A = this chain, B = another copy of it.
């Protein structure tokens, strides 16, 4: 007897789960499409070399690799046992696609992609080894209109799902790198430092400092960086704790404090302030400590938080260098990724799905009507009635076995089916159907041609 549980960190989704997930996915898809993003899908399996070296150190460790097959494995002799790997995110495959189909794709390619990715991470609350990313990316433009539209789409999705207390933190990789330079951390250690800073939220300052030392970054540099973060925070704390205020006051304070050189000033003025100005919503918060774990970001970075979840609901940023790793051309790109599982977990815990079901916005029944089976001889008639009701747009389920009527009613209640059509000898003789309303318990006979109308 084999084990029946799913593999570690993986989950099965029963019908009620899928209905909730699809409700969320449909809203995400609808909003993305309303912004002119088009659907794309890529294979779950990529060549190992496509993924290697794109995500930084953590990515290489957490990737699921696929064993070579047949002769190729025999020849491998312990070296390079894998030639393929499972998709680790949707961004690197997108970059590959853009490089590969450059001539078929429009100059500005706006795509969304809702597919699972796999990471051999330690499973935890809201963290699974298979999870869905709902990505949206705009390729081909340096314009900050892109960031603004992405933020706007994501805000609209969360608002339509019923969230009103989310914050989109925003920072910029060049600003971060500037800070790192000021503390004396050499360029070659920037990626290491960013991976560690990314964990600040979860593990706190001390653990990040410890990780710095482990990664060979001097404790002086670490201390200096945290001092910088703290000083900035003090200067802007009042205003940062409120939502960002469109005139860029905080950024001015911030940039003045940091005494940016011309180039750095430009980044802030031309990019972050523009994004804030274009995005007329009150969910944005500038956070100078936001780092993001992946190594491919080059510009603005984002992360979405809600108060009752330690991790983020999603995040993203600009990655102008990634597509160039696949093609001859550097093509600018920026995107956002929503984590389906995180959104569903929070909605579940807040009772948001229960409310949707109560309001009739989310179905929790298996069918509109159950058709009973009286005896072996009436199978044909029960199947025929089902066909008639389906033709009229109803979801009709036929009880598969001739059984006691009580059992068939019980089955209908168990599946939340609101109506049962009883088709017995008497009904068949009169060309009628007894319709039982499972909510009120009332039963009434109708002509077969009328019954669909009654159910509706």
Point out residues on A near B: beta carbons under 8 Å: 1-7, 10-15, 17-19, 21-22, 33-36, 38-47, 49-50, 61, 64-67, 69-70, 78, 81-82, 84, 86, 93, 96-97, 99-101, 104-108, 110-111, 116, 118, 120, 129-130, 138, 141, 143, 145-146, 148-149, 152, 156, 277-278, 280, 325-328, 366-367, 370, 373, 379-380, 383-384, 386-387, 390, 394-401, 411, 414-415
Contact = CB atoms under 8 A, between A and B. Distances in A.
Interface of A is mostly: mixed
A149 B400 CA distance: 9
Contact of A34 (B39, B394, B399): B394
A264 to B, nearest CB: 21
B400 A143 contact: yes
A366 B36 CA distance: 6
A251 to B, nearest CB: 18
Q: Which 8 A-B pairs have the closest CB atoms?
A: A36-B397, A10-B43, A4-B100, A15-B38, A36-B367, A18-B39, A141-B400, A13-B41
Contacts of A44: 44, 86, 116, 118, 130
7 contacts: A7-B50, A10-B45, A12-B40, A12-B97, A14-B101, A61-B70, A145-B373
A144 to B, nearest CB: 8
Nearest to A138: B400
Nearest to A7: B47
Contact of A146 (B10, B400, B411, B414): B400
B130 A411 contact: no
B18 A108 contact: no
A414 B390 CA distance: 40
